[in-house]
Amino acid sequence: MALIQLNYVSSALFRTVTVNVVLPCDKLDADRKHYLNRGKKFKTLYLLHGLIGNYTDWISGTRVQRLAEKNDLAVVMPSGDNSFYVNSYAIPNNDYGRFIGEELVEVTRAMFPLSDKREDTFVGGLSMGGFGALRAAMAYPETFSKAVVLSGALHILDENCDNLADEQLVFGDTALARGTEKDPEALFAKLAAEKKRDPAKQIPDVYISCGTQDSLMGVNKRYRDLLSAGGADVTFREVPGYGHEWDLWDREIEYVIKNWLPLDESVTGITSGSVRGEEK
């Protein structure tokens, strides 16, 4: 398994950014002479962290690296600061919406053997990253075929939502931000209307999961219902006994990779976790 720390100058953010990339490109055959995935274009999950996190969170908090290796899935994990992955209202050079939806996909496809097909490209995240993933999928439905929303902070534009991290610098007046390109609900409504006019228009599939002890359960159910009513294919999992916590996100990213994403059968080879090339 190649775990790559990528540093490059971002156009959208106008600074050097750091991204973790998991690339399952180094499985050896039984004779230890050939890499089994040579020439393969990998299906890719762009995976977003939550509030006050960074590009290391998913690697340190879950088994995503091992799961990606076993299932031949590339995973790209950027830092999003506290941006909610939208273009900032008040902070210059913080175009995180463009960074996630356009630039990061373009740059990583140019640098690594990633598939450029919509059906092979997914976006997901937890909490703030769940909001960002849903927003990115609805803003760029031609790029992302699936969105994974784990304990999504989908309430952030709701009236009377607590201000946790100076969100007004990101959204401006949240009342005015509702219905704009920063609002995943508005973006979905626009996409659903376009699909009514043109049935060939594609809406990303959405996976939503939340713990029963999480205060965000209500808003996640609300989004489940509005997305389903608007014609999206939605999978919803209500996980008993969990709150807003890493144990849930570790469990759910395993389920998503093993059961929900449309991944090909992976090759079995010699890796750092399996010196005999056996499945664990």
The predicted-structure confidence for 58-100, as pLDDT tens digits, reads as follows: 999 999 999 999 999 999 999 999 999 999 988 888 999 999 9
Q: Kindly indicate the confidence band of residue 266, based on its pLDDT and cuts at 50, 70 and 90.
A: confident
> What is the percentage of the chain residues whose pLDDT exceeds 90?
78
The yes-or-no verdict on residue 169 having pLDDT over 90 is no
Give per-residue pLDDT as tens, 128-153: 999 999 999 999 999 999 999 999 99
Q: What percent of the chain has pLDDT over 70?
A: 89
Residue 183: pLDDT above 80? yes
SS3 readout for 58-95:
HHHHCCHHHHHHHCCEEEEEECCCCCCCCECCCCCCCE
Average pLDDT for residues 226-236, to the nearest whole number?
97
Amino acid at 130: G
pLDDT, residue 258, reads 97
Domains of the chain: 2-158+165-260 (3.40.50.1820)
pLDDT of residue 28: 66
Question: In angstroms, rounded to a whole number, what is the distance separating the alpha carbons of residues 55 and 232?
Answer: 29
Mark 96-117 as b/e (b = at least 16 C-beta within 10 Å).
bbbbbbbbbbebbbeebebeee
Checking if the pLDDT of 279 tops 50, the result is no
Q: How would you class 38 by CB atoms within 10 Å of its CB: exposed for 0-12, middle for 13-18, buried for 19 or more?
A: exposed
Q: What is the pLDDT of residues 251-262, one digit of tens each?
A: 999 999 999 999
4-37 pLDDT per residue, tens:
999 999 999 999 999 999 998 776 666 555 665 6
- The rounded mean pLDDT for the chain is 91
